[in-house]
Structure 1
């Protein structure tokens, strides 16, 4: 964060100094009590009641409030600024802070691949410049303030992950970040409990287009079916495309698997380049194309980009290849699940396990609302269309996939379990050194997480 003073903030928001000093420094910002994790934090406080004992470890503290607070008089390291309208004061500070930032700000969204793409971009750019970035998969609505204020005086580029759980999420994120470069990795079938329809979800992702100004750059996947349905008619910036099948600005060809990564040729600016990226799957090639395009957009040397891509480390529980139960091969993809990422994972299973018995263990897809049955049925079709020898589903709604596969492809062995216990007992009987296992599910599924641990080779 660019250091501010309490006096600067007070004058900006036309506040009254109730207690403390204008000279108090501010290095962090929060709008919830639990977000205060550092001294020198500016807290926009909505309520009257404060747990001073909990906050004392983070003094000195500057509080902006429109309430009359209790029991603050003996807190000597607390500066309190009183305003008439807390919401108005909050956005004045945010807008003032953002308008004094003149660097590329990259926002990455998408149904699948957004965390990997964001991490690739950070890994590449941090070679020779200071980068502000969202941490791990932290893309919630509460992260925007922290992300904005992570941009400091010496930051040269920022890259943040921006999620969509409901309409308006990207518009709200953009109000904080005001991105100059936007990336939509792909659009699948997810978060339909709030977006209601596929069209609603596409429109929610499309909010990123409106967030970019006339000088903004929008990076999209020209092969992606739902991305093609984005309304770009009012977008005045530059559209940059990546892909494999369609003509585009960054096109990959000659794609091949190695033991731990992907080799491909990228056609860029009329020239062909050989590229390697760690991490398995054609979807990883798309992620790398976005990272290359983003690095070009901020004028990074391409040879450096290629070298940095080689040293990227794939994220935990995202198609990680491990030694598995009974000398099998285990592919752990238990971070999240959508139909988009399920299809990508099954393609990896087929490519890596071409000569082996292939077992897919699939958990429930969450955040679907009334679309649950339809999307799980669609997931079943995706499984049926792939070469899986044994399908095991874990969880009540996941059984919808199993029932679809049973009806449409009776050649496959199909089993459904409510939890990990029965699944592991079966697996222990049918798995050997000629088997490759894909386990795919959600990080919040206790059964999937426990089963993934059980399937690792015990050392």
Structure 2
């Protein structure tokens, strides 16, 4: 955080300093008591603090409050700023802090590809800039303040994920970051437990349109059916489309699997460039297109971006290759699971497994609420359409996808388990050196996580 004196903060939020020195420098911010981890933190709260003893090691603490404390209730070592409305004061502080920095800020949302696209942008820019970015996929709404305060005087660019758990999440992130570039990677079906319907989820993702600066740029996946439903009528900035369609500003053609990743030709205006990006799957091409379009808006040439992308390191548990049991190939995709990412993973399995026995081990799709049955049936449709040689599901809801695939005519061997207890032995019996195994789930499923670890014999296969 760029330090700020108590005196200056008091003026910014129209408060009144009633206790302590106004020369103390504020170096951290918080709006929940549990977020206070270090001294010199400004805590904005409308709740009463009772346990002052636990806060003594964190002195000096700067309390910004509208709670009517009685006289002498607050210890003398706490600096106190009284405001009419603590919530209003908090947002004044947030808006002031963001206004100090005239730098490009990218906000990314989408069902799949957020973290990878963000990491690609960060990797490209980090060649010659100091970049602030979301840590891996830690993109919860409670983290936005700390990411904003991570921007300092020497920060030259920032890139943040804006996830959707509920409607309003992207809009809320926009109040912090005020992005100059927005990206929607794709829109599948996820978090329907809070968004209720697919249309509600699309609207929640579409909030990106409202938070990008009016003179900024919006990057959209032109090939994604649901993204096409986002209302763009009010956006006055620059819209850039990525994809394979001829109308795209950044278009990919001649997409092919290379030895260690994807290769394709990118077309922009009258120029063509060859791109190599680590990581398998056509979805990785879309991630790269979005990243290249974003950095191009910041002045990075396509050849320079392409050079940096060659050294990008794929994220753990995102379609990583390992040697598995019985000298098989293990494709670990246990970072997250949606129908969008499942489709991508099955396509990679089929491409890399050409000429081999293809086995898919798939766990439950979470955060679906009452849509759980329907979405798992849709997953079954994907399995039937794309196909594998052996299907194994783990979990009660995952069985729905297996049953629906069979109902549609899927006639390969199918095994459904409530837990992972018997899966390892089954795989040990049916896989060999001519087998590729996809294990697909999310980071919160201990059963999938443990099974993936058990199946790995060696570190990930080299990507160079």
TM-score with structure 1 setting the length: 0.96
Deviations 1:79-116 (A, max 9, x none): 22222211111111111122222111110000000010
Deviations 1:256-292 (A, max 9, x none): 2123211111012311101111111110010000110
Contact 1:334 1:440 in 2 (8 A): yes
Map of 1:22-61 to 2, 5 A cutoff?
Answer: 22-49=22-49, 51-52=51-52, 54-61=54-61
Map of 1:195-206 to 2, 5 A cutoff?
Answer: 195-206=195-206
Which position in structure 1 is the counterpart of 2:239? 239
Structure 1 residue 45, shift from structure 2 partner: 2.7
Indicate the larger mover: 53-62 or 395-404: 53-62
Map of 1:325-404 to 2, 5 A cutoff?
Answer: 325-404=325-404
Which position in structure 2 is the counterpart of 1:432? 432
> What secondary structure is seen at the aligned counterpart in 1 of 2:367?
coil
Which position in structure 2 is the counterpart of 1:319? 319
Deviations 1:284-316 (A, max 9, x none): 010000110001111123332111101111111
Gaps of 5+ in 1: none
Deviations 1:210-252 (A, max 9, x none): 1123202100000001011111112111100100244200111
Which position in structure 2 is the counterpart of 1:443? 443
Which position in structure 1 is the counterpart of 2:66? 66
TM-score with structure 2 setting the length: 0.95
Map of 1:402-413 to 2, 5 A cutoff?
Answer: 402-413=402-413
Q: Indicate whether 1:304 and 2:312 are aligned.
A: no
Going from structure 1 to structure 2, the CA distance change for 1:255 and 1:40 (only over 3 Å counts) comes to same
Going from structure 1 to structure 2, the CA distance change for 1:297 and 1:64 (only over 3 Å counts) comes to same
Structure 1 residue 50, shift from structure 2 partner: 5.1
Contact 2:384 2:410 in 1 (8 A): no
Contact 2:18 2:82 in 1 (8 A): yes
Contact 2:52 2:75 in 1 (8 A): no
Contact 2:129 2:156 in 1 (8 A): yes
Structure 1 residue 340, shift from structure 2 partner: 0.3
Going from structure 1 to structure 2, the CA distance change for 1:51 and 1:325 (only over 3 Å counts) comes to farther
Going from structure 1 to structure 2, the CA distance change for 1:356 and 1:58 (only over 3 Å counts) comes to farther
Q: Distance in 1 between matches of 2:252 and 2:37?
A: 44
Contact 2:358 2:436 in 1 (8 A): yes
Deviations 1:350-400 (A, max 9, x none): 111111100001111111111111100000000111130011011110100
Contact 2:318 2:333 in 1 (8 A): yes
Gaps of 5+ in 2: 460-464
Which position in structure 1 is the counterpart of 2:417? 417
Contact 2:273 2:302 in 1 (8 A): no
Which position in structure 1 is the counterpart of 2:462? none
How many corresponding residue pairs?
457
Which position in structure 2 is the counterpart of 1:125? 125
Going from structure 1 to structure 2, the CA distance change for 1:224 and 1:90 (only over 3 Å counts) comes to same
Q: Distance in 2 between matches of 1:136 and 1:36?
A: 22
Q: RMSD across aligned C-alpha pairs, in angstroms?
A: 1.7
Structure 1 residue 118, shift from structure 2 partner: 0.6
> What secondary structure is seen at the aligned counterpart in 2 of 1:264?
strand
> What secondary structure is seen at the aligned counterpart in 2 of 1:142?
helix
Structure 1 residue 15, shift from structure 2 partner: 2.1
Map of 1:36-185 to 2, 5 A cutoff?
Answer: 36-49=36-49, 51-52=51-52, 54-67=54-67, 68=69, 72-73=74-75, 76=77, 78-185=78-185
Deviations 1:321-344 (A, max 9, x none): 111111111011101000000000
Q: Distance in 2 between matches of 1:129 and 1:191?
A: 35
